[in-house]
Structure 1
Amino acid sequence: MQPKIYKSITLLVFLIFCLSQPIRSQQNLPYADDKLLHFGFSLGVNTMDFGVKTSSDSVGARVSTLSPGFSVGIISNLRLSRYFNFRFTPTLHFGQRQLNYFPKLKADSVLITSIPISLPVYIKYSAERKGNFRPYLIAGGGMSIDLATNKENPVLLRPVNLFAEFGVGCDIYFLFFKLAPELKYSIGFNDIFVPLNERESGQVPTSKQRFSDSLSKLTSKMFTLTFNFE
């Protein structure tokens, strides 16, 4: 992430911590976790990455710098028991990845923009509540559909991706709502790279075909820091 994003996240976490200090002595929303079904929304930032496998040992490729993106989602939560919840959180991500090649080729990088809408389900395990704080673990998976597939890009991605995801978070109870900073890591299962022999003839200029020829497999990776409001 860029330094400005780090500073913004640090400032936001600091403000949340400061706002939570006055509520330590009283328990807010004492029955919030007893609801069978509740809803909310999430806002956050993401960094997208690739797992890269090249077609030969003479050329390598990687995402050298992680660029920050934006995420927004809707939360549906079903209470299963005192400690377990089932969650469905459709989320729209905006991001990009710059794939750099080495040893350097002429014009040695390709920028790939993605707008995946992810449809994950999770099991959320929460620890005992302490005052107005309740840490938790979350794990699950699902599929995503990329709305920004660009057939003119030298590196083309398949729109559908299957992934597993896991993370940690902490519910913070305020007077009228619950806020949860949550950090997740997602890793894709399937190969999302479309080789040249599966693309339309003439879709990629000969001068740019080397960017695809150098690759044999791409899988998705993504870190997401969200702030859930429930």
Structure 2
Amino acid sequence: MHNLLRQQKSRLIRLASVSILLIASLRSVAQRELYLPNHDDKKYYLGIALMYNTSRFNLSHHPGFLGQDSVQVVDPENAGGFGLAGIHTLRLNHRFEIRAIFPQLLFSYKNLTYHLKTPDPMKEEQKVMTKKVESILLGFPVHLKFRSDRIDNFRVYMFAGGKFEYDLTSNSTARRAEDLIKLKKYDLGVEAGIGFNFYFPVFILSPEIKISNGLMNVHSRDANLKYSSTIDKLQSRMIIFSLIFEG
């Protein structure tokens, strides 16, 4: 009987301890300061984004690829880049917002690796040649955002939309382009992603990740160039991670 009473007493002490900790936790949550409580009343607000991207080409071979004997394989590869953007957000209601990103400046790198059957030593070619395709993209994405309820100083949102891009370094008109992959100036695409709002006393920090896919063929094909003639279509594929600061 004595052991039974001691066990019950021990259980009551543990239960009381857990209850005290739970009540203390609930009180601390209830007393947590709500930052920027009037921000949801803003009809329009601004932000700035710091971005890192990893991008590649979605490649389609030209029908004449199998009939030539200089290039055996063409492989697109991922490469990293960075960017900056201005954020303009218009609130429609409690759940939905329209967001325009302008200006968006992305420094993007996409590599193509060629496996050559007969390298030309006069041109310092090797069996495996990597062509680095660099782009400076001036973009204008527009998104429709869907927001969850705010939980204290935290919120989740999802978005989808489209984009227009202009390549400031387009070399589609270059004449001496034997070693170049020439790209067109314009591209249209679709984007979708998810983000998280963390509210602080004077700003909102939003880590965000999105998929950005180009819809147009940006390859300016030249049938007379070895590195270009084997390719029919090049479409941009990009994953962008952003840190957005809004106020």
Aligning the two structures, in what range does the TM-score lie when normalised by the shorter sequence? Answer: 0.7 to 0.9
* Equivalent residue letter for 2:204: K
CA contact (8 A) 1:51 1:221 kept: yes
Query: What residue number does 2:34 align with?
Result: 27
Alignment coverage as a number of residue pairs = 197
Provide closer, same or farther for how the CA distance between residues 191 and 25 of structure 1 changes in structure 2, counting only shifts above 3 A.
Answer: same
TM-score, normalised relative to structure 1: 0.80
Once the two structures are superposed, residues 89-126 of structure 1 have per-residue CA deviations (whole angstroms, 9 ceiling, x without a partner) of 02100121111124667342211110001101000111
Are 1:53 and 2:65 counterparts?
Answer: no
Q: Which 5+ residue runs of structure 2 have no aligned equivalent?
A: 1-28, 120-124
Query: What residue number does 1:210 align with?
Result: 226
- Determine the C-alpha separation between the residues in 2 that align with 1:105 and 1:122: 48
The equivalent position to 2:237 in structure 1, one of 216, 221, 228, is: 221
- Determine the C-alpha separation between the residues in 2 that align with 1:105 and 1:26: 69
- Determine the C-alpha separation between the residues in 2 that align with 1:160 and 1:105: 35
Matches within 5 A, 1:134-145: 134-145=155-166
Query: What residue number does 1:159 align with?
Result: 185
Are 1:100 and 2:113 counterparts?
Answer: yes
Q: Which 5+ residue runs of structure 1 have no aligned equivalent?
A: 1-21, 198-205
- Determine the C-alpha separation between the residues in 2 that align with 1:74 and 1:105: 48
- Determine the C-alpha separation between the residues in 2 that align with 1:166 and 1:59: 35
The equivalent position to 2:43 in structure 1, one of 26, 36, 42, is: 36
Query: What residue number does 1:70 align with?
Result: 82
- Determine the C-alpha separation between the residues in 2 that align with 1:183 and 1:105: 43
Query: What residue number does 1:189 align with?
Result: 215
* Equivalent residue letter for 1:51: N
Query: What residue number does 1:82 align with?
Result: 94
Once the two structures are superposed, residues 122-160 of structure 1 have per-residue CA deviations (whole angstroms, 9 ceiling, x without a partner) of 001111111111011011012100001133452101010
Instruction: Using the aligned pairs only, state the percent identity.
Output: 30
Please give the secondary structure, in 1, of the residue aligned with 2:170.
Answer: coil
Please give the secondary structure, in 2, of the residue aligned with 1:33.
Answer: helix
CA contact (8 A) 1:122 1:140 kept: yes
CA contact (8 A) 1:168 1:184 kept: yes
Once the two structures are superposed, residues 11-48 of structure 1 have per-residue CA deviations (whole angstroms, 9 ceiling, x without a partner) of xxxxxxxxxxx9x9321111112200111111111112
CA contact (8 A) 1:50 1:62 kept: no
Query: What residue number does 2:197 align with?
Result: 171
Per-residue deviation, 1:67: 2.0
Query: What residue number does 1:16 align with?
Result: none
Please give the secondary structure, in 2, of the residue aligned with 1:92.
Answer: strand
Tell me which stretches of 4 or more aligned residues in structure 1 moved more than 4 Å. Answer: none
Report the aligned-residue RMSD: 2.0
Which range moves more in the overlay, 150-159 or 183-192? Answer: 150-159
Provide closer, same or farther for how the CA distance between residues 210 and 84 of structure 1 changes in structure 2, counting only shifts above 3 A.
Answer: same
TM-score, normalised relative to structure 2: 0.75
Query: What residue number does 2:137 align with?
Result: 116
* Equivalent residue letter for 1:33: D
CA contact (8 A) 1:54 1:60 kept: no
